[in-house]
Each structure stands twice: as C-alpha cells, then as structure tokens.
Structure 1
Amino acid sequence: MQPRIPRQSAQELPEQGIGRPDSDARLSDEMAAVVTGARRRAVRDGDRQIDTAHLLHSLLDSDAEVRAVFGDGPHIARLLGYLVQRSIGYGLRWQSAVEDAGGVPVVAEAAGFSPLAAGCMAYAHERAAHHGRGPACGTDLLAAIVADPRARAVEVLRRAGIDSCELSDRLAVRAGAPPGESSR
C-alpha cells in the first residue's frame, strides 16, 4: 500500500521555494525540530514560504513549555482546530498571499521564511541573548510571533478567542519582567 502523501527528500524542498532554515547553528535541537515541522507543513500545504502560523502550529505540537503558556481550556482546542483546518486547506484562507513584514528588512540567511517569520526568528535569537541564554527556545519564538499584530499566527489566535497581548504578558512574567513590559 502506497502512502497517501509522497515523501519528499531535502533535495526536493528548495525547488518548491522552501529552503533549509534549520541549518542555522544558533538553533537548539528543539527549535530545529520546530522549524523542520513548520517547513513540512508549508510544503504539504503548498505554501511558498514558512509563515508564523506554520511556526505556531509546530510550536504547539512539539513544545510543552509553549503549550503551558496557553493553559487548558476551550481556547487551545479551538486554536488547534483552526490550525488543522488551515493545514488541510479548509477554513481560513491564506494561501494566495505572502505574509509580509511591511518595512522590516528580510533576514537574508533565513531563506524559506516569510519576511515576517524571518523577523520573528531573528527576534527570538535576540530575546534569548538578552536573557543570557544560548540558542532561542520555543517561548522566545512565541514571544516574537505574538509581538507583531500583522502576524498570520496572531490572526489565528484572535479568531480562536486568544488575546495575543495577554500571551505576551504571560511570556514577560515567565521571563522575569512585569506584565505589560516587553518580554524581550
């Protein structure tokens, strides 16, 4: 019996517009797995780039600390439902547009990311360095994603009834900053 979804080798990915951004030495093993999962979703979904919603979905799937930030309840189930609907091409429609960063410059070595997702990855690295840690972790990336209201992931959060500002406050408290201050 043949699998429904054909396997794709790493050599096939660049032809489809999705580069190998997880080769960055600044990524921990956990973050490399998040990026790999996001890339796999983007390729499977037929998207040209990894966007913040791909990253959010992968974070929720693979990082228990990120899931803990959301807590339990109906909102997390609704959020996962929206993300799954999106990955199967149903519900929220975004495949026709590229997630844009507006005036934010694109990070050149982050080929394969949408401009906004590339900026989030850079911000996650900065946040980890600011806190004196090594490579960025999942909560660093989540903080970067929820910091920009233009992020596709923030739109998914909003539709699921999750306030990105409240998430940002929770992340700030986890990082040792008072709520309302930047979690950077």
Structure 2
Amino acid sequence: MPGGRAADGVGDVHFPIPRQSVTEPGGHRADNDARLGEELAAVVSGARRRAVRDGDRQIDTAHLLHSLLEHDSEARAVFEDGPQLARLLAYLVQRSIGYGLRWQGSVEDSGAVPVVAVTDGFSPLAAGAMEYAVERAVGRGGERAHGVDLLAALVMDPEARAVEVLTHAGIDVKTVLGGIERRLPDAW
C-alpha cells in the first residue's frame, strides 16, 4: 500500500478530527486554551497528532495519557517505580501500533460524565477530563491546569480508556491518585 493507498487504488478511509474555529460561537481549541498553559497545550497537540495518525475519529483519554507521559515530567514522576512506567509506556506503544484498533470507530463514553456540548474532536470522556483538570486547578487556587490535574481527571472514570490502559499495564488507579495527591494536593 505505497503512498497510503489501498491495493485497488482507492484511498484509505480516514476520519479527520473535527476542528472548530475559535471564532465560532461557543468554540475554542483546547490546545490554545489559556487555562491549560503551554505544557498542556503541547499535550493536547500531541494527543491530536496521535489520534490522526492512529486513524481515530476522536482524541480519547488514552491518547491524552500517552501524550501527557511524553510531555510532562511531573505526571511521569507520579509513577515512581521505573519498571511500572516502562510497562505503561510499552502498553501505550502497543496501542499505537495496533491493539487500539478495536477502539476505532467507537466513541469513548461511559455515560457517567455529562456530555460536553463542544468537544472539538474529543471523546465525551476526554472532553470531560479536560474540563475537570481546569476545575481542579481553579479549586486549589491555580490559574492553569497542570499535568497532574489532567492525570487525575483521566483516571476518574473507571470506564475511561486511560484506566483500561493502566489496568492492563498492572497499575492500580488508587496508587496513581495517591501519587498525584502527594505532588499536587487537591483543594476539593
């Protein structure tokens, strides 16, 4: 399939992640959101690139987790056990190279989180996690969300793909939350 075309000459089907203009009513780009800061904007941009490359319709919580671990040393530090972090990253790479195919074409939504009206290409759970990360930062008096705020948000719903990835990598979500609280106490 040279050049990304199928053997019969018909182009591969790709589902572009919708992009809403920041000038549209109610629209904003999460990777340009001042409440996230430069670090999390880079995380969102990385997750967006990963979703496009993987052929996924939406950015999900596993895309955000993978990008967060690549871009944010504070979030990586939550996983104090070096082999634990290595297992998690290896599992995320496996997702990128094929095991995540079972998720393609499906929407990540447990029904536990209210659907956000404007998702800007995010799954409902990923959009909710982005909003929760900002709310968490505001709750402790911060101006911008940190990587650990997003990490906490990604593991809040047991149906999130990020939680599934952690579980398959042998990482206990409660241990992750404990590590987050030691680094950036929650004001809730």
Quickly name the TM-score band, shorter chain normalised.
0.7 to 0.9
The 5-angstrom pairing of residues 122-161 of structure 1 reads 122-161=131-170
Shift of residue 72, structure 1, vs aligned partner:
3.1
For 2:118, the aligned partner's letter is E
Asked if the contact 2:66–2:89 (Cα under 8 Å) also holds between the matched residues in 1, the reply is yes
Provide the secondary structure at the position in 1 that maps to 2:144.
coil
- Who is 2:84 aligned against? 75
Distance 1:90-1:147 versus aligned 2 partners, 3 A rule? closer
**Aligned partner of 1:106 among 110, 115, 120:** 115
Q: Aligned partners of 1:119, 1:53: CA distance in 2, in Å?
A: 14
Alpha-carbon distance between aligned partners in 2 of 1:161 and 1:125, rounded to the nearest angstrom: 28
Which segment drifts farther, 32-41 or 145-154? Answer: 145-154
Structure 2 residue aligned with 1:94: 103
TM-score of the two chains, using structure 1 as the length reference: 0.83
Aligned ranges for residues 1-184 of structure 1 at < 5 Å?
16-19=16-19, 20-90=29-99, 93-176=102-185, 184=188
Could you tell me how far 1:62 is from its partner in structure 2? 0.5
Deviates more, 1:17-26 or 1:128-137: 17-26
CA separation in 2, counterparts of 1:89 and 1:173? 35
- Is contact 2:112–2:157 with CA below 8 Å preserved after alignment? no
TM-aligned CA distance change 1:91 to 1:30, over 3 Å: closer
1:74: how far off? 2.0
Give 1:11's aligned residue. none
1:91/1:135 CA distance change after superposition, 3 Å: closer
Matching residue of 2:9: none
CA displacement at 1:77 relative to structure 2: 1.2
State the Cα deviation string for residues 135-168 of structure 1 (Å, max 9, x = none): 1110000001111111101000000000011111
Distance in 1, matches of 2:101 and 2:119, equals 26
Deviation larger for 94-103 or 139-148: 94-103
**Distance change in 2, residues 1:146/1:167 (3 Å):** same
Superposed displacement of residue 27, structure 1: 1.9
State the one-letter code of the partner of 1:25: A
Please tell me whether the aligned partners of residues 70 and 76 of structure 1 are also in contact (alpha carbons under 8 angstroms): yes
Cα deviation code 1:92-145 (max 9, x no counterpart): 732242100404222233311100001100100000001111111100000011
The CA deviation at 1:21 is 2.9
Q: TM-score, normalised by structure 2?
A: 0.81
Instruction: Give aligned pairs, total.
Output: 167
